[in-house]
Structure 1
Amino acid sequence: MTQQSPQPTVLVVGLGGTIAMTPTTKEGGARPTLGPQDLLAAVPQLAATGITVKTQSFSNKPGASLTLEDIEELASRLWAMDSEGSIDGIVVTQGTDTLEETAYLLSLLYEARAPLVVTGAMRAPFLAGADGPANLLAAITVAASPQARGLGVLVVFNDQVFEAARVRKAHSTSTNAFIAPDTGPLGTVAEGRLRLLATPAHKPLPMAAALTHPARVGLYPASLGDDGALLEPLLDQVDGMVIAAFGVGHVPDTWVPILHKAAQRIPIVFASRTGGGTTLTHTYAFDGSEKTLLSSGLIGAGHLDPYKARHLLTVLLRSGADLAKICATFAPAGTTPEGRG
Structure 2
Amino acid sequence: MKKIHIFSLGGTIAYMGDTDKPIVTGEDLVQGLPEISNIANVITTSFRQIASSSLSIDDIVELSREIVSAIDSGVDGIVITQGTDTIEETAYLLDLLIEPKVPIVVTGAMRNPNLRGADGPANLLASILVAASGVTKGIGVVVVFNDEIHCSRFVRKAHTQNVAAFQSECGPIGWIAEGIPYLAMRPNNELNRSFKIETEEVPIALYTVSLGDDGRLLTKTKDLGFKGIVIEGLGGGHVPTSMVETLADLAQEIPVILASRTGSGEVLTQTYRGYPGSETSLLSKGLISSGWLDGRKSRVLLSLLLMSGKTHQEIFEYYKHLSKPIL
Aligned to 2:139: 151
Aligned to 2:125: 137
Aligned to 2:183: 196
Q: 1:129 to 1:241 in 2, by over 3 A?
A: same
* 2: CA distance, partners of 1:321 / 1:106: 19
Is 1:306 aligned to 2:295, yes or no? yes
Is 1:48 aligned to 2:42, yes or no? no
Aligned to 1:269: 257
Aligned to 2:71: 82
Gaps of 5+ in 2: none
Moved more, 192-201 or 268-277: 192-201
| Match for residue 54 of structure 2 among 65, 72, 85 | 65
Q: Give the TM-score taking structure 2 as reference length.
A: 0.95
8 Å contact from structure 2 (residues 138, 189) kept in 1 = no
Q: State the 1:47 CA deviation.
A: 3.0
Identity of aligned residues (%): 46
Q: For 1:61, what is the secondary structure of its paired residue?
A: coil
Gaps of 5+ in 1: 1-6, 337-341
AA aligned opposite 1:308: K
Q: 1:202 to 1:249 in 2, by over 3 A?
A: farther
Is 1:110 aligned to 2:98, yes or no? yes
Aligned to 1:176: 164
Q: For 2:47, what is the secondary structure of its paired residue?
A: strand
Is 1:39 aligned to 2:29, yes or no? yes
Q: State the 1:235 CA deviation.
A: 3.8
* 1: CA distance, partners of 2:115 / 2:315: 45
Q: State the 1:48 CA deviation.
A: 3.2
Q: For 1:102, what is the secondary structure of its paired residue?
A: helix
Q: State the 1:207 CA deviation.
A: 3.1
- For residues 197-227 of structure 1, the C-alpha deviation after alignment (integer angstroms, 9 at most, x for no partner) is 0111564332332232663211111011111
8 Å contact from structure 1 (residues 269, 298) kept in 2 = yes
- For residues 209-268 of structure 1, the C-alpha deviation after alignment (integer angstroms, 9 at most, x for no partner) is 223266321111101111111211124431111001111101111111001111111110
In the TM superposition, 1:119-138 aligns within 5 A as: 119-138=107-126
Q: State the 1:146 CA deviation.
A: 2.2
| Match for residue 234 of structure 1 among 218, 221, 231 | 221
- For residues 305-330 of structure 1, the C-alpha deviation after alignment (integer angstroms, 9 at most, x for no partner) is 10000010010011000112111111
| Match for residue 14 of structure 2 among 12, 20, 41 | 20
Q: For 2:91, what is the secondary structure of its paired residue?
A: helix
Moved more, 92-101 or 198-207: 198-207
| Count of matched residue positions in the alignment of Structure 1 and Structure 2 | 324
Aligned to 2:5: 11
* 2: CA distance, partners of 1:203 / 1:193: 27
In the TM superposition, 1:315-334 aligns within 5 A as: 315-334=304-323
Aligned to 2:246: 258
| Match for residue 198 of structure 2 among 208, 211, 228 | 211
Q: 1:31 to 1:318 in 2, by over 3 A?
A: farther
8 Å contact from structure 1 (residues 43, 134) kept in 2 = no
* 1: CA distance, partners of 2:276 / 2:55: 39
Give the CA RMSD over aligned residues: 1.8
8 Å contact from structure 1 (residues 17, 32) kept in 2 = no
* 2: CA distance, partners of 1:17 / 1:203: 31
* 1: CA distance, partners of 2:198 / 2:185: 32
AA aligned opposite 1:134: A
- For residues 105-158 of structure 1, the C-alpha deviation after alignment (integer angstroms, 9 at most, x for no partner) is 111112252221100000001110000000001111111122211010110000
